[in-house]
Amino acid sequence: MKPLHEQLAVIKENVVDLLPEEDVIMKLERSIKNNTPLRIKLGLDPSRPDIHIGHAVVLQKLRQFQDLGHLVVLIIGDFTATIGDPTGKSKTRPALTIEETRHNGTTYVMQAAKILDMYRTEVLYNSSWLDLLSFRDVIRLTSQYTVAQLLERDDFTKRYRANEPISLHEFLYPLIQAYDSVAVKADIEVGGTDQKFNLLAGREIMRGSGAEPQCILTMPIIEGTDGVEKMSKSLDNYIGLTDSPKDMFGKTMSIPDSLIPRYLQYACFAPSDEVTLVKQGLQDGSLHPRAAKVDIAKRIVARYHGQSAGDEAFAEFERVFVKKDIPDVIEERSLPYAQTDVITLLVDTQMAASKSEARRLVTQGGVSLDAVKITDPYAVVDISEQRILRVGKLRFLRVIGA
């Protein structure tokens, strides 16, 4: 194992909080002395199975721990996910069945494997210990925390002040997560800065249970492609790890220029002196923002799809958006008729959700067939030969009639 100061330097890279640092040092020293890896915990919510590059910031940190010889403990929150949110206010927490959580958990882990070293990863489902707790155990757990402490959490404070409902069980979530730390004997728990409260609650509960409290490490939450909100699936401003190279590239190109340094640092994990260099270049005009974004987009695609995919995605992007040509790979769809009106064609190919929508698209000039714009919603089109249907700037479909 590497000496303390070297490890600490790697661990502190890009982090927001590392608390309490002296405990981290103590744990590291002990780990080196006994040649025992630290247990680094990350909790995952399987109600949303898609990982995006925002999550990747945290996973990358875990990977660094692994490269230093430590062990990552991934906890799939299947227990919590099956409870859901009975207030029904938040659709972000639909109650899932056990099967769904298992399925999501598996896909989650497969995606995480793009970044993590799975030989140094332990995957656990929290239902395996939470299901065993009795009501007595739960009450004992709740007695270790106070209402005032819970209300300190930012979103609880806000909702309470705004007279918005807070279900009792929501108070339990931080405690459940904290109990997970007890169950897996976490040395350090990692999460986004939005998790700081929950991570700290873990310390309290561990102490109360007679365990050695974990340390906490938080990573920045990166903004989504809109540049304002945090990246999240529900806001649809995310770049998914399983997105196609084309989508990854395009989504990255669509970020506002102001986000370039952050994406370079946290999505590409570029060294800090390179980030500084790019910032300077952008400021004095020697680096064109578009060039900087192309570079970032290529690197992101290359990271998850391989080097050549990055270059291909770039070429494709140039062709479709800069030269306004059609992409080289287009989905194909055969239809049971040789000719029909545009409206029907759009609906049948699911390029429009309803006939009204199809009509709107046509009227607005968003529909073309073989690069010929169709503006008459009653136009009858012949598809006995294969033709390229285009809706908006981005959606292409090769149609072939019977």
Residues in region 220-239 near RNA by CB under 7 A: 226-227, 236-237
Q: Judged by CB under 7 A, which stretch of 10-18, 145-153, 169-177, 388-396 contacts RNA? A: 388-396
Please state, in angstroms and rounded to a whole number, the distance separating the CA atoms of residues 255 and 289. Answer: 11
Q: Judged by CB under 7 A, which stretch of 41-49, 207-215, 303-311, 391-399 contacts RNA? A: 391-399
Lay out the site mask for RNA across 282-301 (x = CB under 7 A, - = otherwise).
------xxx--x--------
Residues 334/402, Cβ–Cβ less than 8 Å: yes
Residues 263/225, Cβ–Cβ less than 8 Å: no
CB 363, min distance to RNA, A: 8
Please report whether residue 379 would count as binding RNA according to CB under 7 A.
no
Choose among 399, 270, 264, 394: nearest CA to 339.
399
For residue 98, CA distances in Å to 11, 72, 78, 133, 359 come to 35, 24, 7, 18, 43
Q: Judged by CB under 7 A, which stretch of 34-42, 103-111, 125-133, 160-168 contacts RNA? A: 160-168
List, in sequence order, every residue forming a beta bridge with 372; answer none if it has no partner. 369
CB 139, min distance to RNA, A: 22
Q: Which of 132, 139, 322, 372 binds RNA (CB under 7 A)?
A: 322
Residues 261/229, Cβ–Cβ less than 8 Å: no
Please state, in angstroms and rounded to a whole number, the distance separating the CA atoms of residues 326 and 206. Answer: 58
Please report whether residue 148 would count as binding RNA according to CB under 7 A.
no
Considering the complex, state which of residue 219 and residue 347 has its C-beta at the smaller distance from RNA: 347
Q: Judged by CB under 7 A, which stretch of 69-77, 97-105, 109-117, 314-322 contacts RNA? A: 314-322
Q: What share of the chain is helix, strand, coil (3-state, %, to 5)?
A: 50, 15, 35
β-bridge pairing 332-334 and 339-341: unpaired
Question: Where do contacts with RNA occur on this chain (CB under 7 A)?
Answer: 87, 160, 163-166, 226-227, 236-237, 246-247, 249-251, 253-254, 256-257, 288-290, 293, 317, 321-322, 347, 353-357, 359-361, 364-366, 391-395
